Amino acid sequence: MQDSSRPVTGYPVHNVNGCGPPPPATSTTAYPYVNPSPYPYYPAPPPQNPRPTFFRRLFVAFALLLIIFGTILLIFWLVLRPHLPDFSIQSISLSNFNASNQRVNGTWNAQFQVSNPNKKLSIYYGDIVSSVFHKDDFLTETRIGPFVQGTREVNSVEASYSVVDSFVEGKVVDAMNGERSRGELKFNIKVVADVAFRYGGWRGRRRILRVWCDDVALTGSSGKMTGGSKKCSVD
């Protein structure tokens, strides 16, 4: 026999005090939609200008080429080991010399010996100018023709200088006449040449060669060179 006080299953339960069930709870607050994706979003980077990158790569390539070329040139130069030529005056004479009233006349004839000490390099002599000085005072100059000097070659080069009624200071005239009266005149001979070293078809950078032959002594009477050949300094 069933209990009459037990509610029947499947039917709504009424409140014993006669009130209906409370209404369902509602919320007035709205929440935004959340993306459930676990990967963060990053905006795409702006497009880059390709020109700076191109010029940077071009500069690096050019610098590498310069370094490689310089290294090859340095090795080539060290292997060949260029040496400056040797200069000496073999003979020099002075004729028709006269110094008076601040005027100078005279003719110098010189013979140089030029030696190339290099075993692998020839030397090209371009524009050559030679000058005569009394101490530091310029008297005259002349030009010498260009020539090529082979390896281990020795050449004889002649130069003729002339001065006619050229003005000089009185102290220079007095100094030269004083030396002449003592039996010996001394002059300084200078040679400046535009030279380049050569190895087969290769030619190095041109450079200026300077030669100084200091205190070249001549007899006051005959004007001939005294003391034999004289070695000159080269730089």
DSSP labels, 78-104: HHH---PPEEEEEEEEEEEEEEETTEE
3-class DSSP state of 174 = helix
Question: With the C-alpha atoms ordered 141, 228, 174, 211, is the resulting torsion angle positive or negative?
Answer: positive
Asked whether residue 132 carries a pLDDT value surpassing 70, the answer given is: yes
* Helix (DSSP H) and strand (DSSP E) numbers for the chain: 2, 11
Mean pLDDT of the chain: 85
Structure tokens at 195: 């030279």
- Residue 63 makes CB contacts below 8 A (sequence gap 6+) with none
Asked whether residue 12 carries a pLDDT value surpassing 60, the answer given is: no
67-72 average pLDDT score: 83
3-class DSSP state of 17 = coil
Counting residues of the chain whose pLDDT is more than 70, the rounded percentage is 75
3-class DSSP state of 170 = helix
CB 203 within 8 A of CB 197: yes
pLDDT, position 104: 97
pLDDT, position 30: 55
CB 154 within 8 A of CB 95: no
pLDDT, position 8: 53
Q: How many CA atoms lie within 13 A of 66 on its CB side?
A: 6
- Determine which of 12-21, 111-120, 182-191, 192-201 has the lowest per-residue pLDDT on average: 12-21
In this prediction, residue 118 has a pLDDT band, given cuts at 50, 70 and 90, of very high
Q: Note the pLDDT tens digit of each residue in 84-98.
A: 999 999 999 999 999
Flag whether the pTM goes above 0.75: no
pLDDT, position 190: 98
- Determine which of 39-43, 142-146, 174-178, 215-219 has the lowest per-residue pLDDT on average: 39-43
Q: How far apart are CA 161 and CA 68, in angstroms?
A: 48
In this prediction, residue 100 has a pLDDT band, given cuts at 50, 70 and 90, of very high
pLDDT, position 80: 67
CB 223 within 8 A of CB 97: yes
Asked whether residue 26 carries a pLDDT value surpassing 90, the answer given is: no
Asked whether residue 47 carries a pLDDT value surpassing 90, the answer given is: no
> Phi and psi of 146, rounded to 5°?
-70, 155
Q: In order of start, what are the domains of the chain with their CATH numbers?
A: 84-232 (2.60.40)
Pick 47 or 99 by higher pLDDT: 99
How long is the chain?
235
> Phi and psi of 217, rounded to 5°?
-95, 135
